Amino acid sequence: MPEDHIEAGPEEPLRAYAESYPEIVRAGSLRNALQAAADRAGPGLTIELMPPPGWRHVVARARSGDRSVIVSMTLGRRSFSVDCRDDGTRTAHGGTTDLSEAAGATRSWLRGQDVPALVARWPFLGSGEPSGADEPGDAVSVRWRQLRTSVAAPPYASLYELVEAAFAEPRLRALSPRTSHDWLRFSRRATAPLCTDLPMVRATGNDRYRVRTSEGLLHDTTGTARTIALILDHLPGDDRPLST
C-alpha cells in the first residue's frame, strides 16, 4: 500500500462532510477520490496530498512545472473549489459539484491549456480572482468564498482549519471575514467602514491559537473547537450583520 494512502472509514475530519460528499467518505480522502476520477479518464495525472496534516482529507493538489491546481471541498454544501495557478498566481477559479469535472479541469490546465481555452472547455471556471459571479448570496458569502480559497495556500495556510470551523458556526458565517497581518478578523459589514470591535484570532502553531478580544485581552487556546467557542463567548450581543 502506498505510504500516503488513507484508508476509508469514519475519519473525524470528514464527519462534517459526510452528507454532501458520500463518495469522498468512502474513498477516505479527497485525494483518493480525485485520483480515482482522474484515472478513469486516463493515465498521467498524479494527485498529491497537501502538506499540513489537517488537510489530508479535504484538500488535494496536482502540479506540473510552474503550474498547479488546488482542489478543496466546501463545507455546508457540495462544491469542489478548483484553483488553477501559474507560478503561484491564480489564473482561473471556480466551483463544481461534479468531481470528474474537477479532475478534467485539473488535467487540462496541467497539460498546458491557456486560460481562454480552459474556461471555454470547463465553463464552471472563471479567469483571475473569484468575483462572486459563481457564488450565490450577498457580499458576505462572497468574502467567505474568497477567504476559504485563499487560505488553502500560503501565506495564510495555517488558518485553513480555523476558517473552516468558523464558517460552520452560523453566528460567524453571518459576519464578513478578512485577514490582516496574520489575524482572522470579522466585521458586521463587508464594505468600509469595517468593524473593529469584534474578536480576532491568529494561528500560533501546533494547533494553538491566540484570540484577541475587543478589550485588547489575549487568550491562548488549543484546537479549533475551543478557539471558536472562545470567540463566540466574546462576541457582543449586537454582532448582527449590518447592510452592506
Shared domain check, 103 and 20: yes
| pLDDT score recorded for residue 52 | 63
User: Is there a domain that residue 3 lies in?
Assistant: no
The two beta strands, 176-180 and 89-96, are unpaired
Q: Is residue 6 part of a domain?
A: no
Give the count of domains, the chain: 2
Looking at the fold, whether 120 and 143 belong to one and the same domain comes out as no
Q: Are residues 89 and 191 in the same domain?
A: no
CA quadruple 73, 92, 169, 50: dihedral positive or negative? positive
Share of the chain above pLDDT 70, in %: 83
Supply the range of the domain harboring residue 189. Answer: 139-233
User: Residue 151 is placed in which grid cell?
Assistant: 487560505
pLDDT of res. 133: 39
Whether 185 shows a pLDDT value over 80: the answer reads: yes
- Phi–psi pair at 48, nearest 5 degrees: -110, 160
Q: Is residue 68 part of a domain?
A: yes
pLDDT of residue 8: 39
For 89-103, write each residue's pLDDT tens digit. Answer: 778 888 889 999 999
Same-domain status, 19 and 111: yes
Other Cβ atoms less than 10 A from the Cβ of 96: the count is 21
Pair 190, 109 in one domain:
no
Examine the fold and report which residue of 93, 127, 161 is the final residue of a domain before the chain moves on. Answer: 127
Do both 18 and 115 map to the same domain?
yes
pLDDT of residue 198: 93
Task: State whether 104 and 151 are in the same domain.
Answer: no
Provide DSSP, 154-202. Answer: TTSGGGHHHHHHHHTSHHHHTSEEEEETTEEEEESSSSSSPP-SS-EEE
Position 34 in a domain: yes
**The Cα angle at residue 20 between residues 201 and 169, in degrees rounded to 5:** 25
Q: What pLDDT does residue 2 have?
A: 36
Q: Is residue 132 part of a domain?
A: no
| Domain presence at residue 207 | yes
Q: pTM higher than 0.85 for the full model?
A: no
What pLDDT, in 10s, does the model give residues 119-178? 999 988 887 544 443 444 467 887 887 788 777 666 666 788 888 889 889 999 999 999
Q: Which residue has the higher pLDDT, 105 or 164?
A: 105
The backbone torsions φ and ψ at residue 162, rounded to the nearest 5 degrees and listed phi first, read -65, -45
Looking at 95, 127, 159, the residue that finishes a domain is 127
Residues 123 and 155 in one domain: no
| 188 domain-assigned | yes
* pLDDT at residue number 23: 95
Q: Which of 127, 154, 169 represents a domain boundary (last residue)?
A: 127
| 122 and 148 in a common domain | no
- 224 within some domain: yes
Q: For residues 186 and 14, which has the higher predicted lDDT (pLDDT)? A: 186
Residue 138: the pLDDT is 67
